[in-house]
Amino acid sequence: MVYPLLGLKQKAVVLLSGGLDSATALADARSQGFECYAISYDYGQRHRVELELAKEQAALQDVVKHITVQVDLRQIGGSALTADIDVPKDRNEDEMSHDIPITYVPARNTVFLSYALAWAEVLEANHIYIGVNALDYSGYPDCRPEFIAAFETMANLATKVGVEGAKMVIHTPLIDLTKAQIIELGLSKGVRYDMTSSCYDPAPNGKPCRHCDSCLLREKGFAMLGMTDPLVGKFYG
């Protein structure tokens, strides 16, 4: 987004996990003309390879600055993604869509967005991008549009930006898209999906398990476009 009279680019803080969705959200923010600042979170996730891929994506997509914040969720526990609980495998779509799964990290997006908000305030950025998705959302309450809207309202009361009359906007370009549509969007903007990781339980080198909810949804998305996931091609091809 460019101020028409000044020709100045506006800043956006983009949550970047190293996964398929956030890589696409970043590409979308760039294509809207924002100067992008990427923030990643080290929360003791078992899929740590995604932090490496977040760095790669930040470099590939030419962000102004990329930071990785240590987020201390292990003490709080309660999720298969951070605690010693098995990641569920080979669930069908009915199971995925009806239950809040054990991979749900309590209040994760609230914590992540709060850090993004703090950084946005320091940078004087009024825009935050997050690649949440309500359709393929795997049962997480904090991926729903009503959650995002409530966070935005709160953010405008929490910060100097709100007090001083500007407006903090939370952008969710993927919220209504299917996984296939997200992939199409990203491919149209040149996203390198071989340099992303979505698996909840990958091998240390990034090889996806192909059985967790996230792998299943991702492969299905590529299949609907008549494609093979380039990440699967890289490790299993």
Interface residues with a second copy (CB under 8 A) are 67, 69-73, 75-78, 100, 104-111, 113-115, 117-119, 121-122, 141-142, 144, 146-147, 150-151, 153-155, 157-160, 162-163
Q: Nearest 10 degrees: CA dihedral of 186, 67, 118, 72?
A: 100
DSSP state of 10: P
210 within 8 A of 233, measured Cβ to Cβ? no
By beta-carbon proximity to a second copy, the closer residue of 26 and 113 is 113
By beta-carbon proximity to a second copy, the closer residue of 148 and 185 is 148
What is the smallest separation between the CB atom of 39 and a second copy, expressed in angstroms? 9
196 within 8 A of 159, measured Cβ to Cβ? no
Choose among 126, 182, 122: nearest CA to 152: 126
What is the smallest separation between the CB atom of 152 and a second copy, expressed in angstroms? 9
What is the smallest separation between the CB atom of 15 and a second copy, expressed in angstroms? 14
What is the smallest separation between the CB atom of 77 and a second copy, expressed in angstroms? 6
By beta-carbon proximity to a second copy, the closer residue of 119 and 235 is 119
By beta-carbon proximity to a second copy, the closer residue of 32 and 68 is 68
- Backbone dihedral region for residue 20 (phi beyond 0: left; psi -120 to 50: alpha; all else: beta): alpha
64 within 8 A of 35, measured Cβ to Cβ? yes
By beta-carbon proximity to a second copy, the closer residue of 10 and 114 is 114
Task: Please report how many Cα atoms fall inside a 13 Å half-sphere around the Cα of residue 162, on the Cβ side.
Answer: 13
What is the smallest separation between the CB atom of 33 and a second copy, expressed in angstroms? 24
